[in-house]
Amino acid sequence: MPLPALISRALLPVVLVLGGASLTACGPGDGDPAPPLKPVARGDAALGLRLLTQYQCGSCHVIPGVSAARGINGPSLQAFGKRSYIAGRVPNYPDALVAWIVTPAALAPDTSMPSMGVSPEDARHMAAYLGQLQ
């Protein structure tokens, strides 16, 4: 088999995977990523609700279900599970949300959201709660 044919055969799976990924990353014609397809792995939404209170996320955000969460410095988290992006720039997928909660500046260096010392385990539960807000 000629070398170009071998290269083509070797690259075909890569092209198919990348092409498929680019198609699945968009919503129906709007260019936004599709919403998360499944809840956060091992996340307990009820525990996440308690953790959002414990870490005082409501001092900056309005969060449905969190008593006294009436903050005005950060955006409301109402219907967060329907959003396409976190902070307007990070695709809203479960793993990205966990990473955002743990170290927001790692994903958006100019963000005003501080790192609150949230462990990845706690962030998983918090993300499970936020992801189910419709």
pLDDT digits (tens, 9 = 90+) for 50-106: 999 999 999 999 999 998 898 999 999 999 999 999 999 999 999 999 999 999 999
Residues 45 and 8 in one domain: no
Residues 59 and 97 in one domain: yes
Residues 27 and 62 in one domain: no
Residues 41 and 24 in one domain: no
Residue 14: give the domain boundaries: 1-31
What are the start-end ranges of the H helices in 25-119? 45-54, 94-102, 104-107
Residues 78 and 48 in one domain: yes
Residues 58 and 22 in one domain: no
The predicted-structure confidence for 22-66, as pLDDT tens digits, reads as follows 334 444 344 555 554 445 567 999 999 999 999 999 999 999 999
Residues 51 and 26 in one domain: no
Residues 8 and 65 in one domain: no
Residues 51 and 109 in one domain: yes
